Structure 1
């Protein structure tokens, strides 16, 4: 009897393959692991053996942010595909469920041992002892690890700061107290995360996954009333090594669910060890509509860096990396690159053309006065501009004389900053994007439809974006009395509609196999949700698998 497990795993890393090999080898059954669009495990045994194996696999296989779905079925034979091996390749991971079984078993020699070796996740360590030091670097005696972690939890509850060496580096931890701001938080009890943050199921599952990523979460309204955290959002992660896990167990006795941490604060005590272990990466992600967007990570194949470095334009670099990650060289993919840091670009890759085809790019004006001069050349736009000048004379004069030389990138993000000045959202080019902030703060579901127009052309490529039309449309709604936040939402929402329309136009000329989004503007939750909603046809949407959305 042969059982086939099929895994939908949206990453090119070998973590899942490693676990499948490790768990299957321990069963002593005949098996094979293959990889195509899915990762497959074929395993041969009788009914009792396969039932036992399925139970073991379910309990031993860790959750992963890349794991999407799995199925199991009885098949007639092993696959003819070549087996994917896993020999001598190192996997650097946080603890797994097998580790926890050992350190939580009070009859085991590894009870509360943060350096336990594990035959499932491959963790090995020859650290023999933790050193607990006071401020004068004097050793503090402890009888066993359980006593040590109880002592540290007591001191943290007593508002002491403790520097702890972890597999991700050394950090100073302290108890979360009132009027903290601009802090990063370690969650020590995910069961109580909703006491402080608004987190959906996907975000909580991601925090607990084998990757243990950082996620930026919104502070809930009830907790804001305590004046403990003076910030709208905070970077949050869950404990990612056994030292922090065992400490977290003891902190429950003091109802401590979160610790503040940084790398530079002064500290009262230090927990350390001599050996330098391989650094454990902490990636930062955003989850939008169940899609992982990688914001920060070093946990990708460095071949991707080589691909990235072959192109001068970041937009092209990101697109080619994405094509490589999905092996889309025989597909037709339309990529939108929008960034707060680099020039925007919309490009098409197709097996039927050589290289990449630029569809739309953007160009900054030399001044706002230059935009006004363009508007004056059209009769309708000229009348509108005159009305705007008469009604909002102060805003008009300020905008006309505003220095926009600080803007360096040819992008929608830069356009929004210019628009913020012209429409009077702000008096100068700000570091923050006032228009985007307004849109995020808007309580309405919809804004007015703003014109994102391209110059008419028979070609589908190298189209010219008409900035003056974008501004003319906003002026019209401003004159009609639309408030700033609603108007800002209209700009962001209409950007999403513009993307959708462009997709349909290109698809009518070149049959698209999918749409990809790169550049950190698409890590904004409002923008991405509106874009996903606007793409009405059944196009497949892709983000980078392992590579960061903005390098």
Structure 2
């Protein structure tokens, strides 16, 4: 147990993962000048990332996955490899899915078994919002926030050794193809796979996507260390799978969120 013996400007939040301590929030224990600099900036999260970048060498690959801000897969201290642009309305999602024959057939079959969405999406361009889209398709909540939270709760509480393989891939222009992710979830729903399996599979498969991206950088000698950062890694299902599948991967010593 932990006993608070002194009151700080902002409480210090930690979480236990196996034999590791994950610092979720609290900057009272980092360098005072760095803390002052971070909190003097308008975009405090980006200032936190800049501080993290400054502490590691050039070849660090930073996995900055957030629940509130846009996601960043940072290499060479300045290049974001992730080009993720999610739809703002369900109509946009379905139009993108229908752009090829296989997707159009899938959507037609899916609409016969499950209700289609007709709503605006309040989201950020991050994987948390993508989980929200998957959760809405699975009918886990009334909106993206509620659906993402429930999907991650299911994944965190899961005892399954592995989930179904959800598709995470890039297009030819290297932008992230979110339609493939949603299409694979819809295909499993049509096949009768339960929501818990799909939810855990969505989280586990994201870790595999991060691994594949990192392995490609390692093969090209562009990175030799992966650093975990960002509030999405508060969820143990994602954190454990990422640490498990990425070689030479570690938690940063900077809190996951501001």
Alignment TM-score, normalising by the size of structure 1: 0.43
Following superposition, the deviation at residue 305 of structure 1 comes to 3.2
Following superposition, the deviation at residue 402 of structure 1 comes to 2.1
Following superposition, the deviation at residue 517 of structure 1 comes to 1.3
List runs of 5+ in structure 1 lacking aligned partners.
1-206, 208-236, 242-277, 350-354, 458-462
Of 239, 244, 250, the residue aligned with 1:541 is 250
Task: Give the distance between the partners of 2:21 and 2:164, measured in 1 at CA.
Answer: 30
Of 111, 133, 141, the residue aligned with 1:418 is 133
Match of 1:374 in 2: 96
Higher relative contact order (CA 8 A, sep 6+): 2
Aligned 1:263-342 pairs, distance under 5 A: 283-297=12-26, 298-305=28-35, 307-308=37-38, 316-325=46-55, 328-329=56-57, 331-342=58-69
Match of 1:111 in 2: none
Residues 1:402 and 2:129 are matched in the alignment: no
The DSSP-based 3-state class of the residue aligned with 1:522 is: helix
- Is the contact made by 1:289 and 1:529 (CA closer than 8 Å) also made in structure 2? no
Following superposition, the deviation at residue 494 of structure 1 comes to 0.3
- Is the contact made by 2:15 and 2:22 (CA closer than 8 Å) also made in structure 1? yes
Following superposition, the deviation at residue 357 of structure 1 comes to 0.8
Task: Give the distance between the partners of 2:249 and 2:205, measured in 1 at CA.
Answer: 21
- Is the contact made by 2:59 and 2:224 (CA closer than 8 Å) also made in structure 1? yes
Match of 1:455 in 2: 171
Change (3 A) 1:301 1:466: same
Residues 1:513 and 2:224 are matched in the alignment: yes
Residues 1:482 and 2:193 are matched in the alignment: yes
Q: In the TM superposition, what whole-angstrom CA distance separates every residue of 1:252-298 from its partner, at most 9, and x where no partner exists?
A: xxxxxxxxxxxxxxxxxxxxxxxxxx969852212324333222322
Change (3 A) 1:505 1:345: same
- Is the contact made by 2:156 and 2:235 (CA closer than 8 Å) also made in structure 1? no
The DSSP-based 3-state class of the residue aligned with 2:5 is: coil
Change (3 A) 1:489 1:321: same
Task: Give the distance between the partners of 1:295 and 1:464, measured in 2 at CA.
Answer: 30
Match of 1:39 in 2: none
Task: Give the distance between the partners of 1:479 and 1:279, measured in 2 at CA.
Answer: 52
Q: In the TM superposition, what whole-angstrom CA distance separates every residue of 1:491-535 from its partner, at most 9, and x where no partner exists?
A: 011011111111001222234231111111112112100111112
Change (3 A) 1:359 1:308: farther
Over the residues paired in the alignment, what is the CA RMSD in angstroms?
A: 2.5
Residues 1:440 and 2:149 are matched in the alignment: no
Residues 1:391 and 2:113 are matched in the alignment: yes
The DSSP-based 3-state class of the residue aligned with 1:300 is: coil
Larger Rg: 1
Alignment TM-score, normalising by the size of structure 2: 0.88
Change (3 A) 1:436 1:516: same
Of 487, 504, 527, the residue aligned with 2:238 is 527
Aligned 1:5-404 pairs, distance under 5 A: 207=1, 237-238=2-3, 240=5, 283-297=12-26, 298-305=28-35, 307-308=37-38, 316-325=46-55, 328-329=56-57, 331-349=58-76, 355-392=77-114, 395-396=115-116, 399=117, 401-404=118-121
Match of 1:429 in 2: 144
Task: Give the distance between the partners of 1:332 and 1:358, measured in 2 at CA.
Answer: 13
The DSSP-based 3-state class of the residue aligned with 1:464 is: coil
Following superposition, the deviation at residue 307 of structure 1 comes to 5.0
Task: Give the distance between the partners of 1:505 and 1:308, measured in 2 at CA.
Answer: 32
Task: Give the distance between the partners of 2:130 and 2:8, measured in 1 at CA.
Answer: 41
The DSSP-based 3-state class of the residue aligned with 1:500 is: helix
